[in-house]
Amino acid sequence: MSAASSTPVYTGTRESNGVIRALLTDLYQITMAYAYWKSDKMDDKSVFDLYFRRNPFKGEYTLFAGLEECVKLLQNFSFSESDINYLKTVMPVEQEFFDYLAGLSAKDVTLLAVDEGTVVFPKVPLLTVEGPLAVVQLLETPLLNLINYASLVATNAMRFRMAAGSSKSLLEFGLRRAQGPDGGLSASRYCYMGGFDGTSNALAGKMFGIPLRGTHAHAFVTSYSSLREIKSRKLKRKEGSEEVDFVDLCLKWQTQLASDMSFLADQVGEGELAAFIAYAQAFPDNMLALIDTYDVLRSGLPNFCTVAMALHELGYQARGIRLDSGDLAYLSSVVRAVFCKLAKQYQLAWFEKLTIVASNDINEDTILSLNTQGHDIDSFGIGTHLVTCQKQPALGCVFKLVEVNGQPTMKLSEDVEKVSIPGKKRAYRLFGADGTALVDLMLQMEEDVPSVGQRTLCRHPTQESKRAYVSPARIDLLHHEYWKNGKIMKELPPLGDLRKRAFESMQTLRQDHKRALNPTPYKVSVTSSLYTFIHDLWLQNAPIGELS
Ligand SMILES: Nc1ncnc2c1ncn2[C@@H]1O[C@H](COP(=O)(O)OP(=O)(O)OP(=O)(O)O)[C@@H](O)[C@H]1O
Ligand SMILES: O=P(O)(O)OC[C@H]1O[C@H](OP(=O)(O)OP(=O)(O)O)[C@H](O)[C@@H]1O
Ligand SMILES: O=C(O)c1cccnc1
Ligand SMILES: [Mg+2]
């Protein structure tokens, strides 16, 4: 492609988004903080779990993303003087409360989290946040904001990767369609984590070290209408210093290929040919042309082959083409057939392997459908459906109080799926002998940790009849301390490492959990003791009705 790729050692500036700070919260968190303060409850020892209830996109897995930004939020958590001055204008309360707010930090908060880039499942906390009630309450909104979209779009990207397979290149082209500047930046970052190979977003490339990729737009083609607009007709041979009339060379090849490829030289767009020539002069070693501006088969493809052959005569190899409309399966196959024919005829093996990029409103289903039809696309450029997560626009993570001053708390609901799992918990992932994940198991803090080879009863958290014995071959603790006593406790790996982790984590998942249509649910369970505890507390808290 035309843009040079970034060097492998560059991992980005890792800047945080300047908008992430304590005041990026809902008003009700601040009013609750005031009420906690007023009733001297603000320092009650609280434990909150952040989790989601259902996997997105009718799937059975989610990729956990956004943790690094959560840790940085804790690191920088404070209200500035100007934040406080603003709050005074919206909350006419005692000066002492504002003194209290001004002194807040996250130094007494402990954050336990699943490692970023891990595959996660409903109900298992992604984060467990412990600390003074008012402070952790204030954190609810920004933490949810940082996890929800990041995990949603990373999961979306992984689904596109699953659909496309590992051999295809996936490029994120979504900045222009994203939900504002931050939506665009987050999309680029987390789509890379979820398995995309590059982004067109230059700022994301710089900040996060994502390989930058790109072709050119229709505007470049339509800006030319004739060969006369080419200012300099010259192009230097790759080796040596001889300059040749590149336009004449292209016209020579046009005559030759018109007979080889059976096209009419007077039917190809002259402006399009001029644009391809100009682009080849700018990027003789990296020429990738958008060929659908007028007519792919009668004009774009002949013009590209003309310029590619002329480049070859000067010692250069073109890169390929992009299709941005029409039947992408059919057109890619016809284009590939022409490349193969010319490769054979002119003994140019590389011509057969020219890159075919496809774009235009591509979604997961389009890729799956293209796979069943058969196609010759090497690379997909995807914007709208990827970054806006059109299939499901929000993940729906929630943040629930599960313990206060050592007492478990529970949010009841008519809907059994919405009942929160009370108390501070530990969670493990249990693996089978072949390395696949079998079940996630939550247990109470005082329970014995399950061990390898030990037969453990895993129960569905709410459905009594659903249970299974598991004798795990491997056990992974899911949560790790990331923040405690005002310090980062665990390394926050660079984005490239999180991307690798996401691949590896997906590999531990059974194929039937990953399939696009009607996948099998992964089992999330609790120990017998936690099951009994949940149900006893539930009964204690649910009011008994009276019939009359
Ligand atoms: N072989 C195919 N199978 C399934 N979907 C396809 C196939 N080829 C293209 N598509 C999808 O069909 C849709 C075609 O959209 P649409 O008809 O609006 O575009 P177009 O007419 O080809 O191009 P333009 O953007 O110039 O209007 C796109 O979403 C594209 O990704
Ligand atoms: O289709 P998406 O998945 O969102 O991918 C990005 C699109 O952005 C560009 O189009 P452009 O903005 O030039 O407009 P277009 O839709 O008319 O092609 C590009 O040609 C793709 O079609
Ligand atoms: O580089 C491209 O081809 C590109 C970039 C953004 C949007 N559409 C296409
Ligand atoms: Mg389009």
Ranges of residues in the chain whose predicted pLDDT is under 50 = 1-4
Is residue 205 a contact partner of residue 199, using CB atoms and an 8 Å limit? yes
Q: From ligand 3's centre to the CA of 284, what distance in Å?
A: 20
Is residue 244 a contact partner of residue 237, using CB atoms and an 8 Å limit? yes
Best residue among 222, 294, 328 to mutate for probing ligand 1, ranked by most atoms within 8 Å of CB: 328
Atom of ligand 3 nearest to the CA of 322: 3
For the stretch 538-547, what's the b/e string if a residue is b when 16 or more beta carbons lie within 10 angstroms of its beta carbon? Answer: eeeeeeeeee
Q: What's the pLDDT at 8?
A: 52
Best residue among 179, 223, 359, 379 to mutate for probing ligand 2, ranked by most atoms within 8 Å of CB: 359
Residue of minimum CA distance from atom 28 in ligand 1: 361
Residue of minimum CA distance from atom 21 in ligand 2: 360
Best residue among 360, 379, 382, 388 to mutate for probing ligand 2, ranked by most atoms within 8 Å of CB: 360
ipTM: 0.96
Q: From ligand 2's centre to the CA of 80, what distance in Å?
A: 42
Query: What strands, in cross-sheet order, belong to the sheet with 467-470?
Result: 467-470, 456-459, 523-526, 437-444, 425-431, 474-477
Q: What's the pLDDT at 3?
A: 45
**Global model pTM greater than 0.90:** yes
Is the CB of residue 219 below 6 angstroms from any atom belonging to ligand 2?
A: no
Topology (CATH) of 215-377: TIM Barrel (3.20.20)
The strand pairing partners of 381, in sequence order, are 171
Place of tokens 């490492």: 497
Is the CB of residue 129 below 6 angstroms from any atom belonging to ligand 2?
A: no
Q: What's the pLDDT at 477?
A: 98
CATH of 27-160+391-541, one of 3.20.140.10, 3.40.630.10, 3.40.140.10, 3.30.420.40: 3.20.140.10
Is the CB of residue 214 below 6 angstroms from any atom belonging to ligand 3?
A: yes
Q: What's the pLDDT at 343?
A: 98
Q: Where are the alpha helices (DSSP H) in 296-363?
A: 301-313, 328-345, 349-352
2 three-state secondary structure: coil
Question: Which ligand is in closest contact with the Cα of 359?
Answer: 2
Q: Tell how far CA 156 is from the center of its chain.
A: 6
Question: Which ligand is in closest contact with the Cα of 199?
Answer: 3
Atom of ligand 3 nearest to the CA of 290: 3
Distance CA 391, CA 465 (A): 33
Half-sphere exposure of 201 (CA within 13 A, CB side): 32
Distance CA 379, CA 197 (A): 10
Name the DSSP class of 300: I
CA dihedral 339, 341, 345, 348 (to 10 degrees): 30
Q: What's the pLDDT at 2?
A: 43
- Residues 6+ away with beta carbon under 8 Å from 439: 429, 430, 458, 468, 470, 522, 523, 524, 525
E strands within 59-126? 62-63, 110-113, 119-120
Atom of ligand 3 nearest to the CA of 1: 1
**DSSP string over 345-392:** HTT-HHHHT-EEEE-SS--HHHHHHHHHH-----EEEE-HHHHTTTT-
Q: From ligand 1's centre to the CA of 477, what distance in Å?
A: 46
Q: Please state the three-class secondary structure of 158-214 as a single string.
A: HHHHHHHCCCCEEEECCHHHCCHHHHHHHHHHHHHHCCCCEECCHHHHHHHCCCECC
Is the CB of residue 200 below 6 angstroms from any atom belonging to ligand 3?
A: yes
Residue of minimum CA distance from atom 14 in ligand 2: 360
Q: What is the domain partition of the chain in residue ranges? A: 27-160+391-541, 215-377
Q: What's the pLDDT at 1?
A: 46
Is the CB of residue 220 below 6 angstroms from any atom belonging to ligand 3?
A: no
Distance CA 327, CA 364 (A): 16
Is the CB of residue 456 below 6 angstroms from any atom belonging to ligand 3?
A: no
Is the CB of residue 379 below 6 angstroms from any atom belonging to ligand 3?
A: no
Q: In this structure, is the dihedral angle defined by the CA atoms of residues 215, 221, 227 and 230, taken in order, positive or negative?
A: negative
Q: Which residues line ligand 1 (CB under 6 A)?
A: 325-329, 360-362, 366, 369-370, 373
Q: From ligand 2's centre to the CA of 385, what distance in Å?
A: 11
For residue 134, give both structure tokens.
Answer: 């008012």
Place of tokens 């501070």: 424
Best residue among 200, 323, 388 to mutate for probing ligand 3, ranked by most atoms within 8 Å of CB: 200
Is residue 436 a contact partner of residue 449, using CB atoms and an 8 Å limit? no
